[in-house]
């Protein structure tokens, strides 16, 4: 049994790691204070001492279980930026500073793409949005996109900033999660690569199949614009945005340029809440506009 309150650590952490293996843990509601003591060597490592009496006349034994806590501060993803709020992490920094700073970057990038200030390598406005990924964020984006495109304000967002000339269509979003050639052909065969923005969401470096899928999409972009530019880095920098929860992938710059890479903060990487992180907000903001998504 453990207690909900802790003087040295965050309240009700949603995840813990024991013996370097990640394990989701649901803490008990409460426990008598004389059965539990908590000590901590630093802000992120707690040692729980559970007193277990073997009999009524014997002294209790003490079992020490070290737990490395990694709380999910998903509420920070929905805290408004204009209220001067604070949510402190275990090292005392305000989690909202990083979240709201990332919001400003998302607004800047998405608005620049929608207004045609950030064009593709050929000079075309990017109106096709391909989301590559899997999991909760991927499914959440698809759900919200299908809901908003049938909403009046959402549909207006898809059309906003585009010319009314005959033949122009609202922005559209498609989803790709498999290396199946039929699925890839179905998603890309009628799209012009010079008008396509790819948002690749790969939470971990262990997702090898998504890395390969992203590489296949990159090859499609390059093949479609070989006559425009021979430099892949220029094409990727203008057509590929990368979102990840992996520090390794983020700093390797193997997917795209640093300025086109977004790292999900460590305290909101719990997959259940990633839809409201940059993984979900970025592609939706490109499609509908920051004001609608906000």
Cα distance between residue 234 and residue 247, in whole Å: 23
- Could you tell me which residues come within 8 angstroms of residue 59 by beta carbon, excluding any fewer than 6 positions away? 53
Residue 37 and residue 8: Cα distance in Å, rounded?
A: 11
**CA 133, 138, 139, 143 torsion: positive or negative?**
negative
Output the pTM of the full model: 0.75
DSSP 208-242: HHHHHHHHHHHHHHHHHTTTT-S-HHHHHHHHEEE
Per-residue pLDDT, 151: 95
Beta bridge partners of 131: 175, 199
Task: Extract the tokens encoding 195.
Answer: 């008008």
Per-residue model confidence (pLDDT) at position 268? 86
What pLDDT digit, counting tens, does each position of 71-130 carry? 668 888 989 988 889 998 888 889 999 999 999 999 999 999 999 999 999 999 999 999
Low-confidence ranges of the chain (pLDDT < 50): 1-54, 64-69
- Which residue do the tokens 């790691």 mark? 17
Exposure b/e, 277-294, CB count within 10 A at least 16 = b = bbbbbbbbbbbbbbebbe
Query: How high is the pLDDT of residue 59?
Result: 54
SS3 64: strand
From start to end of 134-256, where are the E strands? 172-176, 196-202, 240-244
**What pLDDT shows up at residue 29?**
35
Cβ atoms within 10 Å of 166's Cβ, excluding its own: 5
Tell me, what's the pLDDT at 164?
57
């Amino acid at each position: 049994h453990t207690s909900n309150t802790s003087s040295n650590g965050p309240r009700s952490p949603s995840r813990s790691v024991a013996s370097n293996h990640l394990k989701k843990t649901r803490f008990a509601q409460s426990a008598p204070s004389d059965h539990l003591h908590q000590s901590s060597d630093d802000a992120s490592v707690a040692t729980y001492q559970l007193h277990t009496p073997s009999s009524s006349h014997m002294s209790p034994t003490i079992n020490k279980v070290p737990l490395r806590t990694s709380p999910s501060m998903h509420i920070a993803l929905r805290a408004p930026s204009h209220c001067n709020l604070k949510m402190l992490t275990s090292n005392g920094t305000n989690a909202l500073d990083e979240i709201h700073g990332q919001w400003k970057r998302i607004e800047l990038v998405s608005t620049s793409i929608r207004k045609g200030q950030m064009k593709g390598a050929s000079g075309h406005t990017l109106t096709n949005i391909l989301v590559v990924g899997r999991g909760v964020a991927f499914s959440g984006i698809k759900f919200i996109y299908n809901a908003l495109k049938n909403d009046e304000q959402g549909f207006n967002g898809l059309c906003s900033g585009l010319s009314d000339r005959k033949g122009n269509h609202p922005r559209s979003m498609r989803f790709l999660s498999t290396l199946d050639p039929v699925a890839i052909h179905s998603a890309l065969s009628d799209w012009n690569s010079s008008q396509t923005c790819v948002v690749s969401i790969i939470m971990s470096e262990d997702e090898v199949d998504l890395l390969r899928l992203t590489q296949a999409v990159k090859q499609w972009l390059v093949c479609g614009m070989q006559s425009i530019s021979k430099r892949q880095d220029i094409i990727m920098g203008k057509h590929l945005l990368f979102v990840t929860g992996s520090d390794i992938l983020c700093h390797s710059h193997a997917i795209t340029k640093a300025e086109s890479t977004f790292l999900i903060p460590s305290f909101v990487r719990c997959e259940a809440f990633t839809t409201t992180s940059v993984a979900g907000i970025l592609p939706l903001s490109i499609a509908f506009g920051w004001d609608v998504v906000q």
